[in-house]
Chain A
Amino acid sequence: MEEGNKLIITVLGKDRIGIIAGISNILAEANVNILDINQTILQGFFTMTMVVDNKNSSLDITTLREKLSKKGEQLGLQITTQHEDIFKYMHRI
């Protein structure tokens, strides 16, 4: 199996206009490709998980994580960026 280059971005918080736009802008600038988006809104509470490929990313994971997290603060959301392996290890053998 080739080394995983996928990251999982999660977004939690109150729904508002411009969440996906704000995040995908940062990703596009960093040359990170979005592979999958899954979003739900339950009683005004927004949850989204996004699978992205950062194989050709211009930013390392730490910088990308900080940028997204800062964007989250601006939008009043919690945004986390994690390597896919941690989810695979934790939930699959």
Chain B
Amino acid sequence: MQFSVSKEEVLETVKMLQAENLDIRTITMGINILDCYADSGEKIGQKIYEKIVNSASNLVTVGEDIAKKYGIPIVNKRVSITPLAMLVNNLPADEVVIIGKYLDKAASAIGIDFLGGFSALVHKGFTKGDIALISAIPETLATTERVCSSVNVATTKAGINMDAVLMMGQIIKDTAKLTQDRDGIGCAKLVVFCNAAEDNPFMAGAFHGQGEPETTINIGVSGPGVVLNAVKKHPTADFGTLANIIKNTAFKITRTGELVGREASEKLGVPFGIIDLSLAPTPAIGDSVADILEAMGLERVGTHGSTAALAMLNDAIKKGGAMASSYVGGLSGAFIPVSEDEGMIRALNAGSLTFDKLEAMTSVCSVGLDMVAIAGDTTADTIAAIIADEAAIGMINRKTTAVRIIPAPNKNEGDIVEFGGLLGRAPVMKTNQFSATSFVNRQGRIPAPIHSLNN
């Protein structure tokens, strides 16, 4: 067959790969573990370990082979499992901690950096297993390296489980305390969700949802650098043109993910799930979502106009991505984590980005308050109130929102918290000093919202 791509198109692709950090961010294999039920933590742990090692032993090799074949970096290979809480209904928390250690061992055995699914879905209420798992989170995150945890506390259909929100405020505090020698890094592996996505391939919030098949391959594509360069080339284009430019770019990025996903699925003999087209920044220069917003015309992210710019970016990415693949899912949008994005940190240091503006921006982006460091003496009640606000945004807007917040022990506003690697570093943000204690301690659920009378 004749090769029919023009020279300009070839050079554009090469530039994306060479100069603009286009990569496949993650190949995440979802594995159902419901058949690993047993009557003790030790036995369940062993069964899950075997299942993961048997199912995903060649995940890393296949990922590396595809990366070599196409000359495109595949940064992470990861595994997500069924929310573990479903398997531990008869176990006390200390036995769940044992399972966590087996998960860590399994991740290490197959050579992956993170494994998600130490999770519970409690938006409507708790099972015994949910309570055991949640109680086991702090110790698990402190004593393992690769296990990621998430808890879904709210949905649009069920409302917000405020008892779970309050509990998670305390769990986050406890996790920070147990990892205080490392600036509370345990909290960087813990996400509190509203409307959690069942097929999200991105950590720390990945888990293999109930509606998923036995195993599946989900792909996370990124590419803030590619979008940034496209936007920069058109500093005065009107909004319609700008939206088209972003859509075009998102389309091309997603197609690359489609290619890799199809091939990975075939080579692993595992059904292809979805592509998650998310602009996920990294601390690398030029790999920043904040930079894109600034290239759209903001002097610094966080200033007036930031929410509008982000809303447009997020929507254009979804539209471009949806055209490129039959199966787009996960979170798909722009991530705005603070510690992982140089531009966000710059805006914070300049005094442009505040906590309140960040929260406003989360109402139009994918995910939410992500990798935000706050003072170590912030109370559990205040953290619960922060989670409640974020969950409310997700519940009312029918979207996923999340809180990944680090009350860094012994740190105060302006101090720098260092997590290292992909997690980056962040200055401690100022939170509101007034109390919400009486509100978050009321108990019960915030009822699900009405779906008519939309104003």
List chain A positions with a Cβ less than 8 A from chain B.
Answer: 1, 6, 8, 10, 12, 35-36, 38, 40, 47, 49, 51, 61-62, 65, 78, 80-92
Contact = CB atoms under 8 A, between A and B. Distances in A.
Contacts of B259: 85-86, 89
A90 B71 contact: no
B71 A91 contact: no
B234 interface: no
Contacts of B71: 61, 65, 80-83, 86
A47 B71 CA distance: 20
A49 B6 CA distance: 10
Nearest to A39: B7
B14 A82 contact: yes
Interface of B: 1, 3-5, 7, 9-11, 13-14, 17-18, 68-72, 252, 255-256, 258-259
A49 B7 contact: yes
Q: Chain B at the A interface: mostly helix, strand, loop or mixed?
A: helix
A61 B5 contact: no
Contacts of B252: 90-91
Given A49-B10, A80-B17, A85 B70 contact: yes
Given A6-B3, A38-B7, A87 B69 contact: no
Nearest to A6: B3
Nearest to A7: B71
B356 to A, nearest CB: 40
Contact of B1 (A1, A62, A87, A91): A1
Nearest to B257: A89
B70 A10 contact: no
B229 to A, nearest CB: 15
Contacts of B69: 61, 83
Contacts of A49: 7, 10-11
B9 A91 contact: yes
A86 B13 contact: yes
Interface of chain A, main secondary structure: strand
Contact of A87 (B10, B18, B68, B258): B10
Q: Which of A10, A80, A90 has the most CB of B within 10 A?
A: A90
Given A82-B70, A85-B70, A87-B13, 19 more contacts: A6-B3, A8-B10, A10-B10, A10-B11, A12-B14, A36-B3, A47-B7, A47-B11, A62-B68, A80-B17, A80-B18, A83-B69, A84-B3, A85-B259, A86-B72, A90-B9, A90-B13, A91-B5, A92-B4
Nearest to B68: A62
Nearest to A80: B14
A65 to B, nearest CB: 6
A39 to B, nearest CB: 9
A38 B68 CA distance: 25
A49 B9 CA distance: 11
- A-B residue pairs, 9 tightest by C-beta: A89-B259, A87-B5, A91-B9, A89-B255, A62-B68, A90-B252, A90-B255, A49-B10, A49-B7
Contacts of B13: 82, 86-87, 90-91
Q: Counting chain B CB atoms within 10 Å of each CB, which of A35, A86, A87 scores highest?
A: A86
**Most chain A beta-carbon contacts within 10 A, residue among B11, B13, B18, B259:** B13
Nearest to A10: B14
A90 B256 contact: yes
14 contacts: A8-B3, A10-B14, A12-B14, A35-B3, A49-B11, A80-B17, A80-B71, A85-B259, A86-B13, A87-B5, A89-B255, A89-B258, A89-B259, A92-B4
A78 B3 contact: no
Contacts of B3: 6, 8, 35-36, 51, 84
A65 B13 CA distance: 16
A6 B70 CA distance: 11
A92 B10 CA distance: 12
A38 B11 CA distance: 12
Most buried by B among A10, A47, A78: A10
Nearest to A4: B1
B256 A89 contact: yes
B9 A87 contact: yes
Contacts of B11: 10, 12, 47, 49
A60 B71 CA distance: 12
A62 B66 CA distance: 11
